[in-house]
Chains A and B, each alone.
Chain A
Amino acid sequence: MSRRLSARKRILLVEIPVLAILAFALAPFLWMLLTSVKPTSDLSVFPVRYWPSRFTLEHYAMLLQRTSFAGNLLNSFIIACGAVLVGLVTSVPAAYAFSRFRFGGRRLLMTGFLVINMFPIVLLIIPLFVLMRNLGLIDTFIGVIIGHSTFSIPFSIWMLVSYFNAIPRELDEAATIDGASRLQTIRLVILPLVMPGLVTTAIYVFITSWNEYLFAMMLSGQTVRPVTVALQLFIGEFTVQWGLLTAGGALIALPVAILFLLVQRRIVGGLTSGAVKA
């Protein structure tokens, strides 16, 4: 909504509610951050100790120096980027086809993509493991990337279809009348308009892959171990390494937040009002 609110009204109606929502979103995270800079002896005490008795970065130092966490972060980054790439390259054409063509089996295929995704992955994991093993993809980046991008394909297609549908078809027709080929229309007219949806979908695939544990646990070994699996190593049978775990949590969440800070303009800036007038 473009209406400009007066400064007081804006603070009251927008900024204070946003602060309240942020407080809800961040409180558990801040509690985690605070825990990550406490010495271990502050953790299980009664009554609860809110402020650390002293601030310490020892958990972070330990995490980065004595465990393989930095390498695991890099692995996660490679896997998530790969999943976004493979996911979008396969989903965008599919979503375009569902949105712009009418063809036999369209509804069936679209539903099919969803149905196949409705089964809990935990129960698929053993056949999946056997399959990946026979393809020789265990403990390879390709294996994990293919898995993660495939799990996100149904979602990506469906989400992108609704973003494509939101763009008036008259635009395609106008471009075709102007003599543009189909690929030119997609590249020059549709993709720029669907950019917010594209970026949003990319974020979804990235975050889903970044957080995925079960498949990565089964499919990765020492070579491509991502952070979620590394993190699980801090939760032993008899001890939880709270310091390492919370420091790890902070280091996992921050790159995503920074990434989002960088791309969020894309989500809002993509659609120009001029284009819609056409």
Chain B
Amino acid sequence: MTKGTKGPDGSRLKPAEIGTLGRRTFLQLAGASALAGGLARPAHAQAQTTVRWWYHYDNPQNTPAALVAQFEAANPGIKIQAEAIPWGGGTDYINRMFSSVVAGNQPDCAMVRLSYLSRFAQMKALEPLDGMLAKWDAKSDISDDVWKLNRAPDGKQYYMPLHYVVIYLYYRQDLFEQAGLQPPKTFDEFLGAAKALTKDGMFGYGMRGGAGAHDNWGPFVLGGGGSFEKGGLLTEKALAANRWFIELATKHKVVPPSAPTDAFRQIVDSFKAGRTGMTIHHIGSAAEVVGALGDKASAVPLPRAADGGGWTYFGDESNAIFSASKNKEAAFRWISFLSSGEANVEQAKLSGQLPITTSGVKSWTGHPKRFVDASFASLPIARTLPDSVKTPDFVGRVLPTNMQRALTGEINPDDLMKAVDQLFNG
């Protein structure tokens, strides 16, 4: 096991880093020297390398214990210490991770999201994997598109893709048939269907205005011509697309009045309870939806704009190795194990998402086929959010707050676009 260059006190130091010894590195060093006593153990302790890995699964009954056992049997000398960290709406997981990086107590590797890549990069918290990836024989089992989506702005690969979801449109097959409707392919057809289904206290479209609103806003506004480049949200086309989206609630009233604060649980529950005819989510809720509605529910890719433009959210999950890790080789063995072959399929079952490997997807039976098909059919328009340190603030605060204000009529829809543009380009 190579262990990287070591400083005299046992902490990992590169000459380049010493020059720019800022507060963060200082804290890490302070932490490392505090630990140095503990690390200077006799040689026999080194036979066993322990890799600390942080993960989160939606179902607390799912544990990676079997995967860990399998890996440890195949890799004697490496022990995996897997730790479930509460997701807490994303905030808890991320807070714990960033605090650990600041305090120098980060694990060797952890599940991470693309939207935080810029912030990690700015902290120089992650280790580029390119060198290790070049020697990894299962790399080609993950499609080039996915590698491209995960690449950092500096051209390096910090993330090892693990599994993913793509946002699509859930719809009620039975109600569409009764009304003589086809699943919508364009925005106009979507509005038409939503109007037709809105009756007797039921609403055509279960809009998500609370946490996670970006996956409902994006398809119509970014798909309708908006972009995050400077001024890209303020073109007449983008503003019109956004107005059209907000008017689904304010003018056409095809969304439940609770939409401004509805988050995933409310939109999925309303759809399951038969109170909405369409809703926008991904395969992660397919099992629940089928459990409640059976064959009545199906899914298709999101509708597109009149000019053929479309956008849907690529929900990623990857593993990354922290630059402060002393067991990078071992950590890489573990995360590459999770992203290849059978293990990746097992791992996708635990997380309720889709395997990342081409081979794993071919034999995938974890979800009913129509939802898997809808996910694949959505890939051509699947995009990620901008690679910016501002993105988490867009997702967590600026978009939901301003979209809610637009939905409740407190501000003009155009002000929402100005606020988002201000965040990214102001």
Contact = CB atoms under 8 A, between A and B. Distances in A.
Interface string A75-98: 000000000000000000000000
A236 B285 CA distance: 12
Contacts of B64: none
B352 interface: yes
Interface stretch (A13-21, A123-131, A157-165, A259-267): A123-131
A46 B34 CA distance: 58
Interface stretch (A108-116, A168-176, A179-187, A239-247): A239-247
Given A44-B292, A134-B31, A218-B99, A236 B87 contact: yes
A40, A229, A239, most chain B CB atoms within 10 A: A239
B58 A67 contact: no
B135 interface: no
B292 A238 contact: no
Given A218-B96, A232-B92, A41 B291 contact: yes
A218 B96 CA distance: 6
A136 interface: yes
Contact of A44 (B31, B84, B105, B272): B272
A236 B88 contact: no
A233 interface: yes
Interface in A32-80: 40-41, 44-46, 62, 66-67
Contacts of B83: 221-222
A15 B99 CA distance: 52
A233 B30 contact: no
A45 B293 CA distance: 11
A238 B103 contact: no
Contacts of A67: 60-61
A218 B86 CA distance: 10
Contacts of A44: 268-269, 272-273, 292
B58 A237 contact: yes
Nearest to B288: A239
A39 B284 CA distance: 21
A239 B292 contact: no
A27 interface: no
Contacts of B41: none
A213 B103 CA distance: 20
Nearest to B31: A133
A45 B284 CA distance: 20
Given A45-B273, A239-B58, A239-B288, A134 B34 contact: yes
A237 B90 contact: yes
A232 B291 contact: no
A46 B102 contact: no
B284 to A, nearest CB: 4
A222 B86 CA distance: 11
A235 B275 contact: no
Contacts of A193: none
Interface in B381-406: none
B95 interface: yes
A238 B291 contact: no
Interface residues of A, number: 33
B116 interface: no
Nearest to B212: A237
Contacts of B44: none
A217 interface: yes
B103 A129 contact: yes
A230 B100 CA distance: 20
Contacts of A236: 56-60, 87
A74 B88 CA distance: 23
A138 interface: yes
Contact of A232 (B58, B59, B86, B98): B86
B27 interface: yes
A234 interface: yes
B359 to A, nearest CB: 25
Contact of B265 (A129, A221, A222, A240): A240
Interface string B91-114: 010011011101111000000000
Given A44-B269, A67-B61, A237-B58, A129 B30 contact: no
B278 to A, nearest CB: 17
B102 A239 contact: no
Contacts of A232: 86-88, 92
A209 B339 CA distance: 40
A130 B27 contact: yes
A45, A221, A234, A238, most chain B CB atoms within 10 A: A238
B366 interface: no
B269 to A, nearest CB: 4
Given A41-B292, A133-B103, A240-B265, A218 B95 contact: yes
A46 B292 CA distance: 11
Contacts of A222: 81, 83
A138 B38 CA distance: 15
Interface in B24-71: 27, 30-31, 34, 56-61
Nearest to B90: A237
A130 B99 CA distance: 8
A114 B372 CA distance: 57
Contacts of A130: 27, 99, 102-103
B66 to A, nearest CB: 14
B280 to A, nearest CB: 13
Given A41-B291, A46-B275, A233-B86, A238 B99 contact: no
Contacts of A138: 105
Given A125-B99, A238-B352, A239-B59, 4 more contacts: A41-B292, A129-B105, A130-B103, A241-B59
5 contacts: A44-B273, A67-B60, A126-B99, A222-B81, A236-B59
Interface of B: 27, 30-31, 34, 56-61, 81, 83-84, 86-90, 92, 95-96, 98-100, 102-105, 264-265, 268-269, 272-275, 281-282, 284-285, 288, 291-292, 352
Closest 8 pairs between A and B when the two form their complex, measured CB to CB: A236-B58, A232-B86, A238-B284, A46-B273, A44-B269, A133-B103, A233-B60, A130-B103
